[in-house]
Each structure stands twice: as C-alpha cells, then as structure tokens.
Copies of this chain bind each other. A is one copy, B any other.
Amino acid sequence: MRIVALAGGIGGARFLRGLLAAVGPQDEITVIGNTGDDIHLYGLKVCPDLDTVMYTLGGGIHEEQGWGRADETWSIKAEMKEYGVGPEWFGLGDRDFATHLVRSQMLTAGYSLSQVTEALCVRWKPGVRLLPMSDDRVETHVRITDEQGTRAVHFQEYWVRLHAAVDAEAIIPVGADTAKPAPGVLEAIAEADVILFPPSNPVVSIGTILAVPGIREAVAAAPAPVVGLSPIIGGAPVRGMADKVLAAVGVEATAEAVALNYGSELIDGWLVDSADEAAVAVVEAAGIACRAVPLLMTDVETTAEMARAALALAEQVRA
C-alpha cells in the first residue's frame, strides 16, 4: 500500500512513528513535509519540521522535548550570547547545528532542498520517503498588533519567542503563491492508495502545504481516500497553540470546525477523539465520514492504534 501523509513537526512526526508501527514492510510511506516554518539563522537554512520528522523516525530526537536532538550540547548558543549575536529565543543545539551546516553547504553548492533532504536521510533512515512540500523558499509570517504597532513577524518568532501570546491577525505563507511542489510530490499524491492528514496544525502545517499551488488540487483530485485526524480534543489543541492560528483564519478550535474547514471536497474521512463523540454527527452531516476513537499519542502503540483506525476508515470510505 502506498500511503502519503502531509506532516508538520512534533505532532506529525509522532503520528508517523505510530503509522510505521501499524503498517507492514511492503507498505510505502511518502511524507510531504511542511517547510513554511523554515528560517534562516546565523546564515544557515533551518528546517524545523523536516528535521523533527527525520530525527523522530531516525531515533535521534529529544523525546521529552519533541524537537531537537537527544544528548545535545549547547556550546554554540553560549558562545553566541557572548558575541551578542541573536536570536537568543531560538534553541539550536550543537548537534542540530551540524544538520543545518550540512544542509546549507549543499544548498550553496546548488543542490535542491529535496536532494539535500534525501542526502540527510541516508544517515537517518527514517523508514519513509521524506519530501519537502517545495524546493522553493516559503516562510510563514504572522500579522500581529502590539505596542510596536501592526507588523508581520516570522512564524518562529510568533511561536517560539512570543509563545502566541498576542492574537494572530493573519497567517501569511510568504512565497507560497509562486512556489512549486517539490519533485515527486504531485506524483505521490496521484498514485497514493491512502492520503493521511496527521494531527498536525491545520493552519501553519497542513494548511501551508496545501497553500503550495497544485497540492490542494492534487489532493482533492486524488483517487485515494483522504483521512485526517483531529489535532483538537475537547475544544483545545492537544499540544501547541493551534487555537491561536485557527482564530486568525476564522475557524473555531473544535474537532468539527477543523474538519469542515478542510471540507468534503478535500477530505473523505475524519477521526475525532472519544471526548468529541458529539462532533461525529456534525462532520458526517457535511459529507465526511467520521469516527470517534482515542486520539492521545501517549506512546507508540496507542499512536499505532490511531493509525490503524485512520487506515480502517479509509477502507470504509473507499468501499
């Protein structure tokens, strides 16, 4: 079975680990990773979501934290502080820096982000084919208003530095309108047997991937069933601050509102948490098959069970 999953960072990566545990060795998983949260720091290209997927599936992730490397050291960060060079609010450990150095050196040498990602995965062996959504630069910005007035800040600044404490007025995926899907992305979607939306952020992760011209259309036109898992449980994000960016696009932070925002032209099935049983009827009324199952990714086996439920729902909507 050929499975395509659109993935953001921590939530997407943890779901994929469960998915890998749920499928057989003959199944092929292609992950289309969000690159809208990419940022240039210290002259290097940093791809947080791609790296979180790569490190998580490759066994290098800092488990408790969910991002960054296990057994990390922080010498460079300490030195940057001594040099007075920021940003101080973004945490790049020394091991992580090595990835950004290798990536940046290859990009400067003329390789595409797809090629670089493939090269990095030679080491990490994530067990999936990891494709960036695009080789073109896309950076999500967030419009906010604070004591400095109304302005757009990089998503990472909004998320990591400001902790989404200020209202997001608009989400702007800068560069997305002219970006092209990376090689293999549209083909993978067209040839997929199942397409999954993990419980990633529907606005700044899945939403950004879908904002690359051609990808939303390809998903909508794909013969494969498309099944998503709600990142919202009981009216709040499981982790992160998805409610803040959902508000910016006028979507309520509920399991059903997120499903309806994707819409039946895009998704065929939707899983909500058992706590959101009441959402099932609302979602189904909109023409989207819906089931309520436990959606907390407490460990790999629980997450594998979620993946099985998603694949089972895909089979039901296919039939």
Interface residues of A (CB under 8 A from B): 42-44, 72-73, 75-76, 78-80, 82-85, 93-95, 97-99, 101-102, 104-105, 108, 120, 122-123
Contacts and interface: CB of A to CB of B under 8 A. Distances in A.
Nearest to A107: B43
A109 to B, nearest CB: 8
Contacts of A44: 101
Contacts of A42: 101-102, 105
9 contacts: A42-B101, A44-B101, A75-B95, A75-B98, A76-B98, A79-B99, A83-B120, A84-B123, A85-B102
A101 B76 contact: yes
A102 B82 CA distance: 11
A61 to B, nearest CB: 14
Contact of A80 (B43, B82, B102): B102
Given A75-B75, A95-B76, A43 B105 contact: yes
Q: Which 4 A-B pairs have the closest CB atoms?
A: A79-B98, A75-B94, A43-B105, A94-B94
A230 to B, nearest CB: 36
A248 to B, nearest CB: 32
B97 A83 contact: no
Contacts of A95: 75-76, 78-79
Contacts of A105: 42-43, 85
Contacts of A99: 79, 83
Contacts of A75: 72-73, 75, 93-95, 98
B97 A76 contact: yes
Given A73-B75, A73-B94, A97-B76, A102 B123 contact: no
Given A75-B72, A97-B76, A43 B120 contact: no
A59 to B, nearest CB: 12
Contacts of A123: 82-84
Nearest to A85: B102
A82 B122 CA distance: 10
A108 B75 CA distance: 23
A144 to B, nearest CB: 27
Given A76-B95, A79-B94, A83-B123, 8 more contacts: A43-B104, A73-B73, A75-B75, A76-B98, A79-B98, A80-B102, A83-B99, A85-B105
